[in-house]
Structure 1
Amino acid sequence: MKKWILAVAISAAITGCASEQTNPINESTLNQAALPAGVKLIEQVSVADSEIGIPYNKYQLANGLTVILHQDNSDPLVHVDVTYHVGSARELAGRSGFAHLFEHMMFQGSQNVGDEQHFKVVTEAGGTLNGTTNSDRTNYFETVPSNQLEKMLWLESDRMGFFLPALTSEKFEVQRETVKNERAQRVDNRPYGRLGERFAQALYPVGHPYSWPVIGWPEDLERASLDDVKHFFQRWYGPNNATLTIGGDINQQQTLAWVNKYFGEIPAGPEVESAPKTPVTLDKTRYISMEDKVHLPLLYIGMPTVYAGHPDEAALDLLANIIGGGQTSLLYKNLVKEGYAVQSSVSHPCQELACQFTLYALANPARGAKLADLEAKITASIAEFEQRGVTDEDLQKVKVQFEANTVFNLQSVKGKVSTLAANQTFYGNPNMVGKDLERYSKVTKEDVMRVFKQYIKDKPTVVMSIVPEGQSQLIAHADNFTPQTQPIAEDAVTGLTEVEQVKSSFDRSVMPQAGDAPQLIVPQLWSSTLSNGIEIMGTKTTETPTAELVIYLDGGHRAVPAEKAGLAMLTANMMNESSTKRTTEELAHALELLGSTVNFNAGESQSYIKISSLTKNLDETLAIVTERLFSPGFVAADFERVKQQQLQILQQSMTNPSYIASNGFSALLYGKNTVKGTSSLGTVESISALTLDDVKAFYQQQYTAGSAQMVMVSDLSQQQVLPKLAGFTEWQGDKTPIAPINKRIYAQPATIYLIDKPDAAQSVINIGKRSLTFDATGEFFKANLMNYPLGGAFNSRINLNLREDKGYTYGARSGFSGQEDSGEFIASASVRSDVTGPAISEFITEIKAYQQSGMTEAELEFLKSSITQSQALDFETPYQKAGFIRKIQRYQLDHHYTTEQTKIINSISQAELNSLAKQKLDIDSMVILVVGDKNTIKPQLETLGYPIVEL
């Protein structure tokens, strides 16, 4: 549910300070007459302009539904979140996977919302939507233009109160297949994918609610019946087990009236009690291991600690940061810096009922890769911590990082709403900001040493080894633990009582109309040029006191010859290391004390430097940027380590079917011996041959003022920003040369290319060709409009066919992507191995039919409504604003190009788009690439009638 170190879930959303004011509500202050009947105001929290926090009003309906409203009029959008306090921890032995299955089932329509209509309604409204499940809660959420709020409340209330009448065995079977596909894609077909579920079996006692995976065991999913599903819904999805949180551009009085109308009539479900927080203990260290389709052996060590919100949680977080939280940690120093591991980290993830202290390391095969050696070094590092102790700077660093994460998590309405919802669900109090800040700020050195001795020192652990197939000699220790099984629960739920049927006072089959379209707020941009010619574009946003600066350098992977593939990324990685003035660790430590991040990286056509900082620390952060930029250390020892890390990460990536497919498809379209046809990670041969002199030469070629452009989004004005960038005016150098792309066609169209991935649980399919280059208002833009009903939306023809109708995949899509001088059309999906041939056949059928007949009038109206209204969501966060600015800057677009796009969308004809489909979607001009288990899929492919080439 959290973490501030990892920026996940609950703590990732801590957003305030201790001076927030809560106004307790009592009979003397509450004007109940102003509220709808049956609605009770619980509390009001306000935040002064000078403070950081989330103001809100909290209400409760008569049926027990908790309602939290947060008003934020900065953007014309609203975010709606319904969180049910049910996750996999509410399941019973042998009945796993129900909560996650429900996440899927609840999108399949309800009594007044037709099949597949939930996605269609939200998408057509210009919104985005999703749902997530973890061990402790399930949430459903939508972000939409503010005029669509009532419609979202209608949708969410209908599936809360009227889901069961629309539940059919057919829907159940399709979604069960979809969940199986999700498991195959995210667990079985992914390197290390089974780590979490195997580890949890060993860490938690048999029958513990965290001992089974959220996605469920396959045999449990097979065991489930339609009645089981109905009973699970009746038990856990009542309004009294839910929190409805709404944030954004809302009228609170109107919103509350709508909430009461749509949700107030839904009767409460069975009573829900909090699950007990039973302490978890281990009798001895448990060793488990498995072989997997991986390149790098992995050691994963963990032990139980407390639970989320426990008084010792904060001190344990700090302990994890000291031992393994980045480049200044002990594990980094002893394992990564010394070359024994490619990666290592320590964390303290917490859930509602239990936390665990976990350490992991990916072994470097160049140093032997024996996990017993890594285990010994981790043990030695823990002992070193005990001798080292905790410093004042350790505490200072964490408190600054905590403040920074607090501020950065205020940048979206979704982030604030998610925070309020999670804190209410797990603690009964949305206003946890002050308490969280206080408990972290009060951690002392003595606290950290105390929790170390109480929970970590000499305590039994679970030690898991994952090694490449056939290399069991690398495991840390022979297995000494076998998970036990529990008898399968006779019923899927307990505590089920008679559920009252909903009696509605109005016609719920009538979907509410949208209000007047909100006024789109496009960022006001400024432009300037430094004295050395570097162009800067920026915008001011006052929602948070933060600065986001990105420095782009044209070139990246495209600027290196194919035989030196990987050089751009290797050089960027070296720029993240030492300078001539300070070591890597000293620079990392300086950034940690500022709560800032500076990251050099390289992509296909750009190198870039991404800087995030609190505004008050921007000057000091930029001083570190210029130090790294102008005075890179290029230390030989750093180079050998970084090169080895990149080489090992590449080889690890080569075990991932999705990476193999992406890389292989590029090679087919552009040639495997060209820079466009190779991965920016490089090849084993190219990286192995790179030298430090190559890095130095590419640095001189790439990191030049002539190649650079800057984008700035902050709460500072142009006049305030420019003096802070004065340090970059000494930057010199000409623009990096980039070779043109070869126009030659390398692969035979209408051919299936097969890459064997033995025993793969899924096949990755890519179908496509080279196509249009980028433009903002021309043929490329129109082609993506044309593709939207085919494969660009969730309810597109391709996805509804392969996912919803056939159950072949977790998701299928198509689209055009392009840059200045290249572009592709690609349709893709990961599908079950046993239906690879039929899935390709369905792709071909859909693309052919769309090319020949085009879209319908209804599909045209859908895309027009969806895309135009979605613009209200385009500029909310600094990251979104920076992306908008960069597109204008990179492609020299008019600042108001989105207005022209809207005109095109509103005026374009069905005939023009269908003509584009005829021109651009000829299936016989496309290449088909499949990555999967040859023995399983080749016989299927042979039935399709295409030539087959094995790569």
Structure 2
Amino acid sequence: MAMRSTLIAALMVSVSSCATINTTGNAPTPSQTPPSPSAETVANPLPGGMQLVEAFTPAEGEIGIPYKKYVLPNGLTVVIHEDKSDPLVHADVTYHVGSGREEMGKSGFAHFFEHMMFQGSENVADEEHFKIISEAGGTLNGSTNSDRTNYYETIPSNQLEKVLWLEADRMGFFLDAVTEEKFENQRETVKNERGQNYDNRPYGLVSERVGEALYPEGHPYSWTTIGYIEDLNRANLTDLKKFFSRWYGPNNATLTLGGDLNTEETLEWVAKYFGSIPRGPEVEAPEFIPVTLEADRYISMEDKVALPLLYMSIPTVYARHPDEAPLDVLMSIMGEGRTSILYKNLVKDGLAVAANAGHGCRELHCAFTLTALPNPASGTTLTDLDRILRESIAEFETRGVEDDDLERVKAGIVSGMIYGLESVSGKVSQLAFYETFTGSPNYTSKDIERYSNVTKEDVMRVYHQYIKDKPAVIMSVVPNGQPETIAAPDTWSMYERTIPESEDTTDFEPRYAKDDFDRSIQPKAADFNPMVKLPEIWKSSMENGVNILGAVNTETPTTALQLRIEVGDRQQTLENMGIASLTASMLGEATEFSTNEELSNRLAKLGSSISVGSDKRYTSITVHALTENLDETLAIVKERLLHPKFDEADFKRLKEQTLQGIEQRKTQPSAIASGVFSLLTFGHDNPSAHPEIGTTQTVNNITLEDVKKFYADHYTAGSASIIAVSNLEEQVLENKLSIFSEWSGYPNPAPKLHPFPELETGTLYLIDKEGAAQSEIRIGKRALPYDATGEYYRARIMNFMLGGAFNSRINLNLREDKGYTYGARSGFSGSDIGGIFSARAGVRTDATADSIVQFVNEIKNYAENGIKEEELAFTKSAIGQSDALEYETPFDKLSFLSEVETYGLPDGFTETQSQILENITKEEIDALAKKHLQIDDMIMVIMGDKAVIEDDLKALGYPIVELDTDGLPVPPPQRPKLD
């Protein structure tokens, strides 16, 4: 308990170190008095008339994010955090607009703008935003939710001015560059995104249906962020321009910058590029409107799912309401982790394969949710789940709140805050979030305080006030053709939406900036090259054969490590596929000394996480801990690793969950298409070519004794290694890791592989997915095994412009030009024993055949004609400068160490890669393309609605073989016998 008190105190004391210039934290508006200039501003006038309104510097030993906050005369809020630990900068522009600002009949506009604002602006050409940032070695994206939209980039520190120029151009010079063609193209892209993430995904429409039932008509949370297709179809370009003019002004935005920057220089650039953008209409904070239900609302839907789902949602408060924190504690008690009531009542006894609780909070409203998936093996129905969920809610009243409940939640909040400080993007995101929704970036201590002050009485009070006997929306999702299995008959049905009559949307005037410089000139990178800081690796080994690779990271008081054992799918046989995964899962259950619930409780109170999983080659135990709790965390790791109980009840439950996971996987088109492609390329005879989860037949045949033997045979110290990144010095961490010194055992023998099959090249394999909203495409072949500095590495460079980047030929064709997909890529991936080349996408059903044509044309053209000189220059710049982003966080460094350990890479291999990249020529790229991209050497796997796409596929002229979801031939239909 002392640890958490210390951390909470450290975070809370940061308030006293905050030099608050303007305590309101709000940008000045005509209805407010502008903040008084600080002494610093008076003594040293800031560029563009901006004012310093708030500053925070943590005292030595405190945990907090130092920053300075400024406001420009046009209302733009600027938050700057200097962090010299890595040669990169993260930039975030958050607009306080999401789907919650939309109007009836105009849903999806905010999300649509997230797409549109990557389509160029007055001084940035089409598709140039991604190209410019990628060429600069950076990454970028955007996101939209119900309450805000943000655009963000992480770039080498010498590229900051370029990012500010780009973001300012789309804030102030966007509308005149929007064309009808761009509008229509992105409308199709959004439709593809909805198809991929909602309509074609199991349970993908749950949030939409529950929102419709939970909120009254017209409430902006009654529709999802992506909106209704019919609203997007009805929208016109002028509607979108008006929405932009209303919400995307500088006075409704926060620019947050963090990393290796110079504040004075940065402010000059901010004033130059953003200062002349006129402020937009004034924006009031959205008003919370209580949501109530008069009675339970039962709703249901049939879906392409293997397992039914029961989803219960109860309206509560809103984000940062005084009762949000105690409701979160109640949520944790009810259904978070293995100490929860739902786990005890549903999952532990095998009545459900999963059950949890949530308390999703947004600016206008929160909802308390309970979710459960029944275990068919138990015979549990959705009606049973409905009853048990209600009984579990009632049980809380008898159980009450325990000291551990409060301690777990508070520890999770504190550790989560600290882990968020491990990356500059995490720190910038936190500052931007708090500024947008609270008016001050320095809300961390208040967040900690409101959870640390929650009492048992508070939790009981909110239970009675918001949850006990309160009406809910209860949704049943059942497999197609099983409507009789819903929890209860529907008592509510979707209303016919009232769409307001279209208004004249031409009554707005675009805002134009006036400058004394030429914005069409793209800023150059600064005159320095960021010095990439590779982690310094130290190596050690234990007497029992466990190798250790470590790196010191002093930026946060945390440790990330992975204990890896060379045992995975390769050690399986065709008869016991899935045993590696099952065995790893058993290490996450009870031990000889502790129940699983006791271990989970200990971990949660430490703020630590331990996960166990297996893949093709390794079983890994991954640990994330506050370093001061590392000893206790490692003791739990040791207990799980060396003293598993292998309890029969745990095994039965995990086996049933695995079998249901196999059935669930059959409803996921992307996973099936990729799985069948793997089987065709590496062969049904190789266990590692099959899904790691196994098959129904093989998992059914695995016994607990099989698992015990697999563990005894393969979980040996001689096959293990540890990679670790910590703020501890080498010797100190070595001493802590010696806790595993009593572990023993010899290395596992190398597994035997069956020969890979001859590919039936030129063949199109079709998997039928009746009613699929999209088709999944995989085109490719076997290719090179992993080699960090050989032909494999060079082939990945070669592929970058074909399908490795957003602005690659394949993605620009299928997504940006044709509007067929949400995203299309190609690439080489490899291991020590083999590799593949694949081109892949999920595409509109009606565009399946032409998407294949486009893929083939792009691959053939690249193989025949090679790369263009300007593409090669772009590739070198993009890959070369991205090194600055590769090693920032502890887990980034852990990934680097994993690569070194897995393949025994020599010191200096990254320098060799840099030399290869710098010296590679067009001729070499062209030769690699010609060698590895022969389309006649490839196969095609298509999963989609056969009834809709088959005729178009036949017209392509390829031999077609129909397969089932296990990659086995489907026998042709038998002809009826004639009398």
**CA-to-partner distance for each residue in 1:229-285, whole Å, 9 max, x for gaps?**
111111111101110000000100000110010000000111111111011111110
Matched, 1:590 2:602: yes
Structure 2 counterparts to residues 624-639 of structure 1, below 5 A = 624-639=636-651
Contact 2:408 2:605 in 1 (8 A): yes
2:221 match: secondary structure:
coil
The one of 795, 800, 810 equivalent to 1:783 is: 795
In structure 2, what residue type is equivalent to 1:697? K
1:250 match: secondary structure:
coil
Q: What is the CA-CA distance between 1:752 and the residue it aligns to?
A: 0.2
1:609 match: secondary structure:
strand
In structure 2, what residue type is equivalent to 1:928? M
Matched, 1:232 2:227: no
Partner of 1:471: 482
Structure 2 counterparts to residues 409-424 of structure 1, below 5 A = 409-424=420-435
Partner of 1:562: 574
Contact 1:668 1:746 in 2 (8 A): no
Q: What is the CA-CA distance between 1:393 and the residue it aligns to?
A: 1.4
Instruction: Measure the CA separation in 1 of the matches of 2:313 and 2:908.
Output: 53
Contact 2:785 2:835 in 1 (8 A): yes
Instruction: Measure the CA separation in 2 of the matches of 1:764 and 1:675.
Output: 24
Partner of 2:672: 660
The one of 57, 72, 80 equivalent to 2:83 is: 72
2:64 match: secondary structure:
coil
Instruction: Measure the CA separation in 1 of the matches of 2:250 and 2:500.
Output: 26
- Indicate how the Cα distance of structure 1 residues 628 and 493 shifts in structure 2: closer, same or farther if over 3 A, else same: farther
- Indicate how the Cα distance of structure 1 residues 495 and 43 shifts in structure 2: closer, same or farther if over 3 A, else same: farther
Instruction: Measure the CA separation in 2 of the matches of 1:68 and 1:27.
Output: 17
The one of 566, 591, 612 equivalent to 2:624 is: 612
Where structure 2 has 5 or more consecutive residues not aligned to the other structure, the ranges are 1-7, 22-35, 964-979
Instruction: Measure the CA separation in 1 of the matches of 2:207 and 2:664.
Output: 19
Structure 2 counterparts to residues 649-798 of structure 1, below 5 A = 649-798=661-810
Partner of 1:902: 914
Matched, 1:345 2:356: yes
In structure 2, what residue type is equivalent to 1:856? K
In structure 1, what residue type is equivalent to 2:808? S
Contact 1:206 1:483 in 2 (8 A): no
In structure 2, what residue type is equivalent to 1:706? G
The one of 249, 256, 260 equivalent to 1:245 is: 256
**CA-to-partner distance for each residue in 1:494-540, whole Å, 9 max, x for gaps?**
99754432222210000000012111111111110011111100111
In structure 2, what residue type is equivalent to 1:805? D
Moved more, 742-751 or 363-372: 742-751
Structure 2 counterparts to residues 529-548 of structure 1, below 5 A = 529-548=541-560
The one of 495, 504, 513 equivalent to 2:524 is: 513
- Indicate how the Cα distance of structure 1 residues 14 and 920 shifts in structure 2: closer, same or farther if over 3 A, else same: farther
Instruction: Measure the CA separation in 2 of the matches of 1:539 and 1:263.
Output: 41
Contact 1:92 1:492 in 2 (8 A): no
Partner of 1:19: 14
Instruction: Measure the CA separation in 2 of the matches of 1:688 and 1:743.
Output: 27
2:360 match: secondary structure:
coil
Q: What is the CA-CA distance between 1:485 and the residue it aligns to?
A: 3.7
How many positions carry a matched residue from both structures? Answer: 939
In structure 2, what residue type is equivalent to 1:472? P
In structure 1, what residue type is equivalent to 2:144? T
Matched, 1:255 2:266: yes
Contact 2:48 2:275 in 1 (8 A): no
Instruction: Measure the CA separation in 1 of the matches of 2:699 and 2:747.
Output: 25
The one of 850, 861, 878 equivalent to 1:849 is: 861
**CA-to-partner distance for each residue in 1:392-414, whole Å, 9 max, x for gaps?**
11111221222111111111111
Instruction: Measure the CA separation in 1 of the matches of 2:364 and 2:535.
Output: 44
Q: What is the CA-CA distance between 1:366 and the residue it aligns to?
A: 0.9
- Indicate how the Cα distance of structure 1 residues 679 and 28 shifts in structure 2: closer, same or farther if over 3 A, else same: closer
RMSD value over aligned CA atoms? 1.5
Partner of 1:945: 957
Partner of 1:320: 331
Structure 2 counterparts to residues 100-139 of structure 1, below 5 A = 100-139=111-150
**CA-to-partner distance for each residue in 1:190-232, whole Å, 9 max, x for gaps?**
0000000000000111110100111010100100101111111
Moved more, 324-333 or 745-754: 745-754
Instruction: Measure the CA separation in 2 of the matches of 1:609 and 1:492.
Output: 59
Moved more, 765-774 or 736-745: 736-745
Q: What is the CA-CA distance between 1:898 and the residue it aligns to?
A: 1.0
- Indicate how the Cα distance of structure 1 residues 14 and 269 shifts in structure 2: closer, same or farther if over 3 A, else same: farther
The one of 257, 276, 281 equivalent to 2:292 is: 281
2:492 match: secondary structure:
coil
Instruction: Measure the CA separation in 2 of the matches of 1:848 and 1:497.
Output: 49
Where structure 1 has 5 or more consecutive residues not aligned to the other structure, the ranges are 1-12
Instruction: Measure the CA separation in 2 of the matches of 1:566 and 1:473.
Output: 33
Contact 1:147 1:517 in 2 (8 A): yes
The one of 138, 146, 156 equivalent to 1:145 is: 156
Partner of 2:33: none
The one of 55, 63, 68 equivalent to 1:44 is: 55
Q: What is the CA-CA distance between 1:677 and the residue it aligns to?
A: 2.4
Q: What is the CA-CA distance between 1:641 and the residue it aligns to?
A: 0.5
Partner of 2:975: none
Q: TM-score, normalised by structure 2?
A: 0.95
In structure 2, what residue type is equivalent to 1:283? E
The one of 823, 826, 830 equivalent to 1:818 is: 830
Contact 1:72 1:250 in 2 (8 A): yes
In structure 1, what residue type is equivalent to 2:123? N
The one of 924, 929, 941 equivalent to 1:929 is: 941
In structure 2, what residue type is equivalent to 1:918? K
In structure 1, what residue type is equivalent to 2:718? G
- Indicate how the Cα distance of structure 1 residues 591 and 492 shifts in structure 2: closer, same or farther if over 3 A, else same: farther
Moved more, 931-940 or 728-737: 728-737
The one of 398, 408, 411 equivalent to 1:400 is: 411
Instruction: Measure the CA separation in 2 of the matches of 1:352 and 1:492.
Output: 28
Contact 1:57 1:69 in 2 (8 A): yes
In structure 1, what residue type is equivalent to 2:839? A
1:57 match: secondary structure:
strand
- Indicate how the Cα distance of structure 1 residues 494 and 530 shifts in structure 2: closer, same or farther if over 3 A, else same: farther
Instruction: Measure the CA separation in 1 of the matches of 2:285 and 2:907.
Output: 53
**CA-to-partner distance for each residue in 1:864-885, whole Å, 9 max, x for gaps?**
0000100000010000000001
Instruction: Measure the CA separation in 1 of the matches of 2:790 and 2:846.
Output: 41
Instruction: Measure the CA separation in 2 of the matches of 1:17 and 1:509.
Output: 47
Partner of 2:340: 329
Instruction: Measure the CA separation in 2 of the matches of 1:108 and 1:359.
Output: 40
In structure 2, what residue type is equivalent to 1:684? T
The one of 165, 173, 191 equivalent to 1:180 is: 191
**CA-to-partner distance for each residue in 1:549-589, whole Å, 9 max, x for gaps?**
10111121111112211110000111100111111111111
2:639 match: secondary structure:
helix
Moved more, 305-314 or 487-496: 487-496
Instruction: Measure the CA separation in 1 of the matches of 2:497 and 2:962.
Output: 46
Instruction: Measure the CA separation in 1 of the matches of 2:185 and 2:345.
Output: 50
Contact 2:37 2:53 in 1 (8 A): no
Partner of 1:9: none
In structure 2, what residue type is equivalent to 1:23? A
Contact 1:14 1:436 in 2 (8 A): no
